[in-house]
Amino acid sequence: MTVAAGLGYALLALGPSLSLFVSVISKKPFLILTVLSSTLLWLMSLIALSGAWRAFLPLKTTRWWPYAILVITSVVFQEGLRVLFWKVYKKLEDILDSFADRVSKPRLFLTDKMQIALAGGLGHGVAHAVFFCLSLLTPAFGPATFYVDRCPQMPFFLISAIISLGFVTIHTFSMVIAFNGFAEGKRMHQVFVPGVHLAAALVTLINLSSGGCMVGIPILYFLVALTLIYCGNMVWKRLTEDRSRRH
């Protein structure tokens, strides 16, 4: 495998985010800044987590429960961080609104708010893909490839790219769901997001068993589809409500 393969894996994991970035985010500098800061936040959460887990790593056991604890703590921590992110965003929204008043421009539209949420989610997703997939991809640019014992069907890089793509999508759109949920105060949305995140993370535990990736990846993609449909549904509903309210 060579440069083509490496690029292919990278694009597999990050291609959709890239197009999202180019088509939506890059036109508005503020959204770029949101993506960057959300990426930084995710990186810091990862560093904090790894700092906490550093003493126990590497896990020598082949049993699954230490990994389960690791995954669960990580997800819980990150979901807590999402609430924090929301609070910061809320403050920012107020600032933006008062700024808009000051320069006599309209306040943030609903779509603007959603775009900010999308940018925040994209930042999380991109950070995920970058650290879990892209940073391990360097050997894929070389002349060889790598298989793990537990999943002999596909090269390791391909699996991690596919899983990363799933997580990028989940992260990106669950932020939209979460922000809307927080804004409207709907419990359903607020519970759905950590639920999907936790479920998706636990699904990857299946990969620990030999040949598990053939089961785990379809389940993961089922969750991805669920998130997408849920998000689309919710956004559609809110937009139509908003439009009917304005008319």
Partner 1 sequence: MDSSSVLSTIGTDIISVMSPVSICMLLVVFLVYSLSPASPNNNGTSLRTAATLVYLETPSDTATQKLEGALLNALVFVVLISAVTFMLVLLYYYNFTSFLKNYMRFSAFFVLASMGGSIFLSIIEHFSVPIDGFTCFVLIVNFTVVGVLSVFSPGIPIFVRQSYMVVLGIIVATWFTKLPEWTTWVLLVALAVYDLVAVLVPGGPLKMLVELASSRDEELPALIYEARPTISRNAERGGELGVFVGMGSGSVELQPVQHNDNVGENGGSSDQNFRARGSDNESEDEETSPLVANSVQRPVTSGGNSHHSQPDERLFGSVSSEIVEEETSPLVNGASSGSRAVERRRSRRDGGDHDSDIGMTMKAGIKLGLGDFVFYSVLVGRAAMYDLMTVYACYLAIISGLGCTLILLSVCQRALPALPISITLGVIFYFLTRLLMEPFVVGTSTNLLMF
Residues 88-107 that bind partner 1 (CB under 8 A): 91-92, 95-96, 98-106
Round to whole Å and give the CA distance between 65 and 51.
Answer: 20
State the greatest distance between any 2 C-alpha atoms of the chain, in Å, as a whole number.
63
130 binds partner 1 (CB under 8 A): yes
109 binds partner 1 (CB under 8 A): yes
143 binds partner 1 (CB under 8 A): no
Q: Work out which of 4, 23, 54, 187 binds partner 1, going by CB under 8 A.
A: 54
> Token pair of 4, please?
């083509």
Q: Which residues contact 177 (CB under 8 A, 6 or more apart)?
A: 189, 192, 193, 227, 230, 231, 234
For residue 230, give the nearest of 183, 179, 193, 186 by alpha carbon: 193
Q: Which residues contact 12 (CB under 8 A, 6 or more apart)?
A: 158, 161, 162, 165
Residue at 36: amino acid letter: L
238 binds partner 1 (CB under 8 A): no
- Please list every residue from 154 through 213 that binds partner 1, using CB under 8 A: 156, 159-160, 163-164, 167, 197, 200-201, 204-205, 207-208, 213
> Percent helix, strand and coil across the chain, each rounded to 5?
85, 0, 15
What is the closest distance, in whole angstroms, from the C-beta atom of residue 55 to partner 1 in the complex?
11
Q: How many chain residues interact with partner 1 (CB under 8 A)?
A: 75
What is the closest distance, in whole angstroms, from the C-beta atom of residue 187 to partner 1 in the complex?
23
Stretch that binds partner 1, among 32-40, 173-181, 184-192, 235-243 (CB under 8 A): 32-40
What is the closest distance, in whole angstroms, from the C-beta atom of residue 238 to partner 1 in the complex?
16
Q: Which residues contact 193 (CB under 8 A, 6 or more apart)?
A: 79, 82, 174, 175, 177, 178, 181
Stretch that binds partner 1, among 126-134, 174-182, 187-195, 221-229 (CB under 8 A): 126-134
Q: Work out which of 32, 219, 226, 228 binds partner 1, going by CB under 8 A.
A: 32
43 binds partner 1 (CB under 8 A): yes
Cβ-based neighbour number of residue 211 at 10 Å: 13
Stretch that binds partner 1, among 151-159, 173-181, 221-229, 231-239 (CB under 8 A): 151-159
What is the closest distance, in whole angstroms, from the C-beta atom of residue 16 to partner 1 in the complex?
17
Q: Assess contact for 18 and 11: CB atoms under 8 A.
A: yes
Looking at the Cβ atoms of 23 and 187, the one nearer to partner 1 is 23
Residue at 201: amino acid letter: A
What is the closest distance, in whole angstroms, from the C-beta atom of residue 21 to partner 1 in the complex?
13
